[in-house]
Chain A
């Protein structure tokens, strides 16, 4: 039974949900239409998805196309960044919380200030740094600045609050080294935090645009957001093919969203406890 007085709530929620889903529905249908149909606002599915896909391949076999190379780069870069970020930031969160003293707390306070530093402000010195280190257009140039983030460290630190200290002491008595404690006890106990951190890091890396645009100069090093933005930057735009490429860029993150929505929400709210 639906409560009568909740009807306005339902109406509002249904309208807002429709508003939220509609542009994505449009993305999917537009990917199946010709550029003319898309630019004239055809709303329903068409028969041109194969056509649009072919346009994206630009006469190349799939595994030699720009689409494939951008997908592969995005996957590789995001995966490498996720693994390294999680390892380094969780180690730091572990160190800051479970070995904390005044000096470490003070250092943590300083690191948090990095959250306020805008990406656009560090972009030029980082570009100079990466070009001196010959890391432009490389996976390292892409990920190095974003491996250690105050946000992730804070997330692991906050979530370690409930970590049972008794476990630590018991492990030490058993003769486990401090590193052993991290890998054998801390990591398994903190599984859910790792999952949330992984989702949010992967998504951020996949979707990054400003820094990749600065550092990934070579065409073959392009990631998906750069690739689709370039498609939209030409003089004549094939809107059907463009929406098909946007669909390819969105599909992996949307799939992750549907499977790991809870972890994604935890990852966003991260350190709010």
Chain B
């Protein structure tokens, strides 16, 4: 009897497990092998020397720029977004606050929009003569239109701004879920003891949310390393490839112009290793603070 039900257990999980093996693990191994080859599709040859694709990266200016961009977004966008999200969650967790549902719905709403859609919306907002510029002109803050998407630094700024818009509410939902188990009276007790908002934020909210924070940091790193839709549709990597993300560069290497599957695979393997390393560091750091 035991044995029979056990066999049923395997039968239930085998389809999904096999599919993950075939469509995730196998391609990962295939990508590693391809990364030592050169050419595309039908005519692939072993690279000469075998590490050629990996050596080539150090001379690839677009790749180095995309790597820098990724870390710039990681250092600026992720912390700002997560702090905003925790702050919003703490405010919305206050039972004395009115219209909590309405606020939550508004702030969460950007998550219902696809990445391509919001990229295009922000592109029109920041168009050379677009809304942002005309509002700033009317307010007298600027006197001639800023080419937001035509200059490297402002274009990066727009991407960061757009990312914060799209993902803050998403992370807030995690923190709200994490705060649900916290008795709100703890805050009230702290207030009676004379703690201010800043202190309760760091002493109560953040420790309570620690496991969720670690998870959202890992997710954000993972997402940032894989940014693609925004790079393609908001700035198209421009000006002159300076806002291009790694995934965008890899896609172009593999499928645009002179396709090179080998080199693109090597680049994608670097992304994979970065994801793994950063996630491991995160888990380690998160563990130690106990």
**A242 at the B interface (CB under 8 A):** yes
Q: Which of B1-17 contact A (CB under 8 A)?
A: 5-6, 8-13, 15-17
**B111 at the A interface (CB under 8 A):** yes
Bound-state Cα–Cα, A105 to B215, Å: 21
CB-based contact A121/B112 at 8 Å: no
**B30 at the A interface (CB under 8 A):** yes
Bound-state Cα–Cα, A148 to B110, Å: 26
Bound-state Cα–Cα, A17 to B97, Å: 15
Which candidate, A48-56, A188-196, A207-215, is the interface stretch facing chain B?
Answer: A207-215
* Distance from B260 Cβ to chain A, minimum over Cβ atoms (Å): 10
Taking a contact as CB atoms closer than 8 A, the residue among A6, A10, A147, A209 that contacts B115 in the complex is A209
**B67 at the A interface (CB under 8 A):** no
**A118 at the B interface (CB under 8 A):** yes
CB-based contact A121/B31 at 8 Å: yes
- Knowing A147-B19, A229-B233, A250-B114, the reply to whether A116 touches B276 (Cβ < 8 A) is yes
**B152 at the A interface (CB under 8 A):** no
Bin the interface of chain B by size. 35 or more
What is the interface of chain B mostly: helix, strand, loop, or mixed?
Answer: helix
Taking a contact as CB atoms closer than 8 A, the residue among A19, A117, A126, A209 that contacts B165 in the complex is A19
CB-based contact A242/B92 at 8 Å: no
Q: What residues on A are CB-neighbors of B169 within 8 Å?
A: 20
Bound-state Cα–Cα, A125 to B170, Å: 31
Taking a contact as CB atoms closer than 8 A, the residue among A94, A118, A148 that contacts B20 in the complex is A148
CB-based contact A114/B24 at 8 Å: yes
CB-based contact A120/B222 at 8 Å: no
Q: Which of A176-220 contact B (CB under 8 A)?
A: 178-179, 182, 203, 206-207, 209-210, 213-214
Residues of A within 8 A of B (CB): 2-3, 6, 9-10, 12-14, 16-17, 19-21, 23-24, 26-27, 30, 38-41, 43, 88-89, 91-92, 94-96, 98-101, 104, 107, 111, 114, 116-129, 131, 144-150, 153, 178-179, 182, 203, 206-207, 209-210, 213-214, 224-225, 228-229, 232, 239, 242-243, 246, 249-250, 253-254, 256-258, 261, 264-265, 268-269, 272
The 10 nearest A-B residue pairs measured at CB: A99-B9, A95-B12, A41-B131, A92-B16, A95-B13, A207-B114, A257-B112, A17-B106, A125-B30, A148-B19
